[in-house]
C-alpha cells in the first residue's frame, strides 16, 4: 500500500516524480503529494484525490528543483484528506518525509515528543510522528557540530528507526542538505534505481524503469543515502550494507496499456502468453514430468515430503484452493490451504516433512510474508510462488517458482491467477511422478497443459457473448457463484472479481451448499452463475441449477463440451469453454468470469483499474 518515488539528478524532479506516481497509482490512490527542494525552499503540493488531481495542482504552480520525494497514499492512519496526505514535515519545517507502512507505536512516540517540548502535529498520521522524531535527532546532533550534515541525517534516521515498532519504506529530504535523499526499509519494499548522474528511489521498479533498468532491491533494515552520482547503503545497526545491482526484467513498454482501455482487459488478453511463460522450460516430455529447479530441493528431499501447506490471500488463496485439488489428485499428497492472515497467528500443527508454499503475485503482501516468516521460524522449508522477481517473499523463501507473468498493474488480479493455477499443476505433476503417476499419465498431464494457451485464445473469443450477458445483469443487486470440486474456488474467484470492480454484492459457494441456506437468497433479480463444465459432477451441478430455476432465479452457466445441450431450458445464458481435463479447467472457466466482471464494471461506468478502497499490493496487516 502506498507508493513512494524519489529523485535526485540534473533534470527537473517534478515531471519525473509525477510520472513515477502515475505508475505506482495501483498501490494506493486516495491522496498524493510531492516535496521538491529548490534552493532554500521546500516546495510542497499535496491533496486528497487521485494523481490527476495532484497533477493539476502541479501544473497550476509548477515546483522547480532537481531533487525531491513523492507519495501516493492508501490511508491507514487518518482519513484521506489534504492534511493527511504525504509528505509530512518535522517541527523545523525543513525535513520532509514520505512513508509506506505502519508505525505501530506512533501514539507512544507522539506522546513522548509532546512531553519533551515543542512538537505540534498537523495531521492524524503515524508518518508525521516519524518525521518529527528524525528531525529531533537531527537537530540534537547539530549541537555536537563534529559530523557533516549528511552523515548526521543518516544517523538521525538510524536512531529514530531504532525506536520504531512497525513497518516502513521511507524517503526523506532536508532543505539544508542539497541533492541528498535518505531512504530506508523494513517490511515495505524500496528499490534504488541507479542512473547516470541521477538516482531514484521507488516502491516498485515500474516507477523508474523508463529512466533506468539498473536496480538495487533494498533489504529490510537497509538505510540508503542517495546522491546524484553515488549512493551508500548501511544497515540499521550501522554496518556497511551488501547489495547487488540487478537488471530489471521488463521494459517501459511492458507496463503500458497499449490500445486497451484498461490494464485489466490487457492482462486478461495476455493470458495465453502468461500461462505459456509459467510452463516454459519446465515440462520434460522425455521424463513425463515437471522440472522446477527453483525449488532448490534434491529428489530425495522432494520424495520425503508427506504434506503440503499452501498459503496466500485473495486471488492467490483461491489459486491455492485449486492447488489443493490438483496436488491431491495428481500426487496423492495431503494438502491444506490456509489464509496467510490466519496461518501466521495460528499454531498449525505441522509434521517434519511438511512443505509450505507462500503464493503471492506481488511477493510483498504483509500477511503472506508473515506466514512465510512464521513457517521458516518453525523450521519448515518454505517456498515462494511469486511474480515479482526480487520481491521480499521471493528473497526470503528457501526457493520457489517464479510466475513470469510480466507486470500485473490492474488491481483486480487476472493473469497472475491463471499462472498460479498452472504452477499448481506443475507441482502436482512433479510430486505425482515421484509417486504413483505412470509415464503415460504424466504425458497426458503435459498434453493438457500444453494445450492450454490455444484453448485460452479460444475462450477469449467469447468476449462479445459475455459482454451481452454483462449488460443484461450489470444492475443486479447481487450475484451468486457456484461450482464443485476444482471449480468451487473458481466460483470464489468469480465473486471476488465482481465485488472488487463492480461493488455488487457477490458470494461464491460449493454448489451443494445452496440448499443449506443460500437458496433463501435466490430470486428473479439475483443471477446465479454456475461453473459446470463437462466433468464427473456435472449432473450434480445440474440438479442444483434446477433448484434455482424452480425458484425463478436467473442462471448463467459456464460449461464445456457437449453439456451445453443439457442446459437448454434450464440456464438463461450459457457460455461454453473448450473441453479440458478437470485439473486444468479452472484456467479456462475463470476467464468468462473475469470478462463478466470487467464488462459489468464498464457498463456501470466504474474505474476498473482502480476500484474504490483497494490497492494492488497490501503491505499492511
C-beta separation of 208 from 227 below 8 A: no
Residue number, 271 or 362, with CB nearest to ligand M6R: 362
User: In the annotation, is 2 catalytic?
Assistant: yes
Q: Parallel, antiparallel, or unpaired: how do β-strands 88-89 and 41-48 relate?
A: unpaired
φ, ψ for residue 319, nearest 5 deg: -65, -40
User: Taking the complex as a whole, how short is the minimal distance between the CB of residue 393 and ligand M6R, in angstroms?
Assistant: 8
User: Taking the complex as a whole, how short is the minimal distance between the CB of residue 364 and ligand M6R, in angstroms?
Assistant: 7
C-beta separation of 324 from 336 below 8 A: yes
User: In the annotation, is 616 catalytic?
Assistant: yes
Distances in Å between the alpha carbon of 151 and those of 148, 155, 177, 313, 577?
6, 6, 10, 41, 62
Q: Which of 175, 266, 499, 616 is catalytic?
A: 616
Q: Which residues, including other chains, have CB under 8 Å from residue 136's CB and lie 6 or more apart?
A: 90, 91, 113, 116, 119, 160
User: Taking the complex as a whole, how short is the minimal distance between the CB of residue 389 and ligand M6R, in angstroms?
Assistant: 13
Residue number, 214 or 249, with CB nearest to ligand M6R: 249
- In the numeric block, which cell numbers belong to residue 259? 490500445
Residue number, 423 or 496, with CB nearest to ligand M6R: 496
Residue number, 276 or 616, with CB nearest to ligand M6R: 616
User: Taking the complex as a whole, how short is the minimal distance between the CB of residue 153 and ligand M6R, in angstroms?
Assistant: 33
User: Taking the complex as a whole, how short is the minimal distance between the CB of residue 493 and ligand M6R, in angstroms?
Assistant: 8
C-beta separation of 308 from 333 below 8 A: yes
Q: Which of 2, 313, 386, 563 is catalytic?
A: 2
Alpha helices for 332-482 (secondary structure H): 340-343, 366-377, 392-396, 415-433, 439-460, 463-473
User: Taking the complex as a whole, how short is the minimal distance between the CB of residue 497 and ligand M6R, in angstroms?
Assistant: 7
- In the numeric block, which cell numbers belong to residue 576? 461454453
Exposed / middle / buried, residue 271 (Cβ in 10 Å: 0-12, 13-18, 19+): buried
C-beta separation of 620 from 126 below 8 A: no
User: Taking the complex as a whole, how short is the minimal distance between the CB of residue 123 and ligand M6R, in angstroms?
Assistant: 27
Closest by CA to 578, choosing from 489, 453, 470, is 453
Q: Could you count the other beta carbons within 10 Å of the beta carbon of residue 578?
A: 17
Residue number, 267 or 534, with CB nearest to ligand M6R: 267
DSSP string, 300-312: HHHHH--EEEEEE
For ligand M6R, the binding residues (CB under 6 A) are 313-316, 360-362, 365, 368, 411-413, 496, 500, 617-618
Residue number, 313 or 333, with CB nearest to ligand M6R: 313
Residue number, 271 or 361, with CB nearest to ligand M6R: 361
User: Taking the complex as a whole, how short is the minimal distance between the CB of residue 11 and ligand M6R, in angstroms?
Assistant: 32
User: Taking the complex as a whole, how short is the minimal distance between the CB of residue 331 and ligand M6R, in angstroms?
Assistant: 23
Strand order in the sheet with 573-577: 505-510, 478-483, 528-531, 555-560, 573-577
Residue number, 97 or 403, with CB nearest to ligand M6R: 403
Distances in Å between the alpha carbon of 95 and those of 35, 84, 100, 463, 473?
10, 16, 17, 52, 53
d(CA 304, CA 300): 6
Where b means 16+ CB within 10 Å and e means fewer, 449-480 reads beebbebbeebbebbeebbebbebbbebebbb
In the complex, residue closest to ligand M6R by CB: 314
Distances in Å between the alpha carbon of 262 and those of 1, 254, 411?
21, 14, 11
Residue number, 57 or 531, with CB nearest to ligand M6R: 531
C-beta separation of 563 from 534 below 8 A: yes
Q: Which residues, including other chains, have CB under 8 Å from residue 334's CB and lie 6 or more apart?
A: 306, 307, 308, 328
- CA gyration radius for the chain? 26
C-beta separation of 205 from 191 below 8 A: yes
Rounded to the nearest 10 degrees, what angle do helices 271-279 and 415-433 cross at?
30
Residue number, 302 or 614, with CB nearest to ligand M6R: 614
d(CA 477, CA 571): 19
d(CA 215, CA 224): 13
Residue number, 560 or 617, with CB nearest to ligand M6R: 617
User: Taking the complex as a whole, how short is the minimal distance between the CB of residue 308 and ligand M6R, in angstroms?
Assistant: 18
User: Taking the complex as a whole, how short is the minimal distance between the CB of residue 388 and ligand M6R, in angstroms?
Assistant: 8
Identify the DSSP state of 323.
H
Residue number, 576 or 594, with CB nearest to ligand M6R: 594
User: Taking the complex as a whole, how short is the minimal distance between the CB of residue 321 and ligand M6R, in angstroms?
Assistant: 12
Catalytically annotated residues: 2, 616
Amino acid at each position: 500500500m502506498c507508493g513512494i518515488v524519489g529523485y535526485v539528478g540534473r533534470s527537473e524532479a517534478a515531471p519525473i516524480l509525477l510520472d513515477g506516481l502515475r505508475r505506482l497509482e495501483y498501490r494506493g490512490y486516495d491522496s498524493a503529494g510531492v516535496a521538491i527542494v529548490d534552493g532554500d525552499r521546500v516546495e510542497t503540493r499535496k491533496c486528497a484525490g487521485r494523481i490527476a488531481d495532484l497533477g493539476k495542482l502541479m501544473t497550476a504552480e509548477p515546483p522547480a528543483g532537481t531533487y525531491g520525494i513523492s507519495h501516493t497514499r492508501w490511508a491507514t492512519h487518518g482519513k484521506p484528506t489534504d492534511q493527511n496526505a504525504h509528505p509530512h514535515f518535522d517541527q523545523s519545517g525543513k525535513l520532509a518525509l514520505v512513508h509506506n507502512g505502519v508505525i505501530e507505536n506512533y501514539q507512544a512516540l507522539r506522546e513522548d515528543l509532546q512531553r519533551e517540548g515543542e512538537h505540534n502535529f498537523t495531521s492524524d498520521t503515524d508518518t508525521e510522528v516519524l518525521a518529527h522524531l528524525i528531525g529531533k535527532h537531527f537537530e540534537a546532533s547539530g549541537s555536537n557540530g563534529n559530523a557533516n550534515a549528511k552523515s548526521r541525517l543518516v544517523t538521525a534516521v538510524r536512531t529514530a528507526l531504532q525506536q520504531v515498532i512497525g513497518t516502513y519504506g521511507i524517503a526523506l529530504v532536508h532543505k539544508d542538505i542539497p541533492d541528498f535523499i535518505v531512504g530506508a526499509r523494513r517490511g515495505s519494499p524500496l528499490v534504488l534505481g541507479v542512473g547516470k548522474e541521477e538516482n531514484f528511489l521507488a516502491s516498485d521498479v515500474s516507477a523508474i524503469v523508463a529512466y533506468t533498468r539498473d536496480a538495487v532491491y533494498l533489504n529490510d533494515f537497509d538505510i540508503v543515502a542517495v546522491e546524484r552520482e553515488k549512493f551508500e547503503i548501511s544497515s540499521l545497526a550501522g554496518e556497511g550494507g551488501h547489495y547487488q545491482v540487478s537488471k530489471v526484467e521488463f521494459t517501459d513498454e511492458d507496463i503500458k496499456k497499449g490500445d486497451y482501455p484498461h490494464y485489466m482487459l490487457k492482462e486478461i488478453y495476455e493470458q495465453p502468453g502468461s500461462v505459456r511463460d509459467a510452463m516454459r522450460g519446465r515440462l520434460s516430455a522425455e521424463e513425463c514430468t515437471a522440472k522446477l529447479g527453483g525449488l532448490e530441493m534434491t529428489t530425495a528431499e522432494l520424495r520425503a515430503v508427506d504434506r503440503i501447506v499452501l498459503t496466500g490471500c485473495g486471488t492467490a488463496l483461491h489459486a491455492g484452493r485449486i492447488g489443493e485439488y490438483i496436488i491431491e489428485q495428481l500426487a496423492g499428497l495431503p494438502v491444506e490451504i490456509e489464509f496467510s492472515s490466519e496461518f501466521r497467528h495460528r499454531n498449525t500443527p505441522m509434521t517434519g516433512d511438511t512443505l509450505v508454499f507462500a503464493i503471492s503475485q506481488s511477493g510483498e503482501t504483509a500477511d503472506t510474508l508473515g506466514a512465510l516468516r512464521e513457517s521458516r521460524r518453525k523450521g519448515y522449508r518454505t517456498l515462494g510462488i511469486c511474480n515479482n522477481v526480487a520481491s521480499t517473499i521471493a528473497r526470503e523463501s528457501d526457493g520457489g517458482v517464479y510466475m513470469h507473468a510480466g507486470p500485473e498493474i490492474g488491481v483486480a488480479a487476472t493473469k497472475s491467477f491463471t499462472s498460479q493455477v498452472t504452477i499448481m499443476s506443475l507441482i502436482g505433476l512433479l510430486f505425482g511422478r515421484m509417486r504413483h503417476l505412470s509415464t503415460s499419465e504424466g504425458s497426458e498431464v503435459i498434453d493438457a497443459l500444453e494445450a492450454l494457451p490455444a484453448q485460452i485464445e479460444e475462450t477469449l473469443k467469447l468476449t462479445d457473448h459475455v459482454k451481452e450477458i454483462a449488460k443484461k445483469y450489470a444492475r443486479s443487486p447481487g450475484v451468486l457463484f457456484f461450482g464443485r470440486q476444482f471449480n468451487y474456488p473458481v466460483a470464489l474467484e468469480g465473486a471476488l472479481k465482481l465485488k472488487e470492480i463492480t461493488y455488487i454484492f457477490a458470494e461464491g459457494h460449493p454448489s451443494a451448499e445452496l440448499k443449506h441456506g443460500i437458496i433463501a437468497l435466490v430470486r428473479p433479480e439475483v443471477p446465479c452463475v454456475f461453473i459446470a463444465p463437462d466433468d464427473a459432477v456435472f449432473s450434480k451441478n445440474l440438479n442444483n441449477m434446477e433448484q434455482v430455476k424452480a425458484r425463478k432465479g436467473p442462471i448463467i452457466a459456464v460449461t464445456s463440451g457437449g453439456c451445453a445441450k443439457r442446459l437448454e431450458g434450464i440456464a438463461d445464458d450459457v457460455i461454453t469453454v473448450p473441453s479440458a481435463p478437470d485439473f486444468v479447467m479452472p484456467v479456462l472457466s475463470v476467464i468468462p468470469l473475469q470478462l463478466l466482471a470487467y464488462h459489468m464494471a464498464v457498463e456501470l461506468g466504474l474505474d476498473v483499474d482502480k476500484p474504490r478502497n483497494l490497492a494492488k499490493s497490501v503491505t499492511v496487516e
